[in-house]
Amino acid sequence: MPVYKDENAKANKWYYSFSYKDNGKYKKKLKRGFKTKKEAEAAMTEAKDAMNKGVYVEPSKTLYAEFMKSWLEDKGLNVRKSTFQTYSYYVNSHIVPALGHLEISKITPRDIQSFYNEVKSSGSLSSENLRKLHTVINDSLNKAQKWDMIIRNPASLVDPPKVNKKEVEVWDEDDIKTFLDAAKNSRYYAVFLLALTTGMRRGEILGLRWKDIDEENETISIVQTMDMNGELNIGAKTSAGNRRLSVDKNTLNQVLRLKAIYKQELMANRPVYNSEHDLVIRTSVGTPLYPRNLNRAFYAMIKKSEVKKIRFHDLRHTHASLLLKQGVNPKIVSERLGHANVRITLDTYSHLLPNLQKDTVAEFGKMFYAQNE
């Protein structure tokens, strides 16, 4: 086997060398820089196999940092601004500092796995964000493979980091009543109601426009959303997110009451008032309400009401849990939440299902034996 050890090299001492025929002429193929003999043998076998199949790609010497810069630029044309910012954070703060110095063709599965191990042990990212980090690396190296810069995507040989599933926190009926009683005079009472009675996401509520509300049919259409940076985007991230929701009369009336309040604020602040966005939820001068400011108001209200502290997103979970407890078909719950499929709903709220099943069996038993007495 033409694999050799370079005694003069300080590191990565193994290399392979073999001759091959190209257009009737013999050529020599040599590649250095392997850490072990096994790595060199595997790479040589792969190169020979690719040559025999006529698909051999000359490995690129481009640094991964250089490639990721162009990959990000390309991504910027096809994803939302908020998504692009997230990708940029992962690339510039984590991926490039760890792997950017490597030639893209020399990145091995071991390099990537060691990087994941280091991130996990440092605790710098949650398991969910570590999984997203893997998604970015895998996607970028897939593109490099399609562009014939590498023979094979090394990230595809690494197991995606496992996400530690968090149990959702929800309020019970007493918590909800206590919180809403305390929040009745809050400017954002309608926001809290919408989250609890429709399961809308924070960004969906903050991006809601008056023209998205059908008063006659008592429905709300999810058309526009707001991201974490306060940017408004038309369309949800997934097709399932674009949906129409039925809303109860009491909640709808609370939302419609805001029109009269905004008219008064417009008169009081006319020189600086801005209503160009047609937003249902806005500040006293008509501008969009930023997510961080809503969070601040929400946590202040939790403190005032003295209920269990949960995230704003958990109001959505609370809505789902109430529906499931009422025996609503999970498919309907999934549609209201805008999940891509019902499996996501079942996985998210699986901790509720054993109790729901017990209640269902108890009710079935009452009905069954009553009929047979």
Buried b (16+ CB within 10 A) or exposed e, 306-329: ebeebebebbbbbbbbbbbeeeee
Identity of the amino acid at 31: K
pLDDT confidence of residue 229: 83
Token pair recorded at residue 117: 């191990």
Residue at token pair 């040559």: 51
Q: What is the mean pLDDT of the chain?
A: 86
Tell me how long the chain is: 373
Tens of pLDDT, residues 71-83: 999 998 888 888 8
- In this structure, the answer to whether residues 202 and 241 fall within a common structural domain is yes
Residue at token pair 């509720």: 352
Task: Please determine, for residue 43, whether its predicted confidence score (pLDDT) is greater than 60.
Answer: yes
**CA 305, chain centre distance (Å):** 31
Phi, psi (degrees; rounded to nearest 5) at 314? -70, -15
Identity of the amino acid at 316: R
pLDDT confidence of residue 215: 94
Q: Say if 370 falls within a structural domain.
A: no
Total domains, the chain? 3
pLDDT confidence of residue 107: 92
As a whole number of angstroms, the distance between CA 201 and CA 312 comes to 9
- In this structure, the answer to whether residues 98 and 143 fall within a common structural domain is yes
pLDDT confidence of residue 37: 84
- In this structure, the answer to whether residues 239 and 343 fall within a common structural domain is yes
- In this structure, the answer to whether residues 250 and 337 fall within a common structural domain is yes
**What is the value of pTM for the model shown?**
0.69
Mean pLDDT of 47-57: 64
Token pair recorded at residue 261: 């309040």
Task: Please determine, for residue 110, whether its predicted confidence score (pLDDT) is greater than 80.
Answer: yes
As a whole number of angstroms, the distance between CA 25 and CA 173 comes to 81
Question: Domain boundary at 108, 125, 157, which?
Answer: 157
pLDDT confidence of residue 371: 61
pLDDT confidence of residue 300: 96
- In this structure, the answer to whether residues 153 and 181 fall within a common structural domain is no
Task: Please determine, for residue 59, whether its predicted confidence score (pLDDT) is greater than 80.
Answer: no
pLDDT confidence of residue 358: 63
pLDDT confidence of residue 165: 74
Domain interval for residue 222? 173-359
* Candidate from 26-30, 77-81, 270-274 with smallest mean pLDDT: 26-30
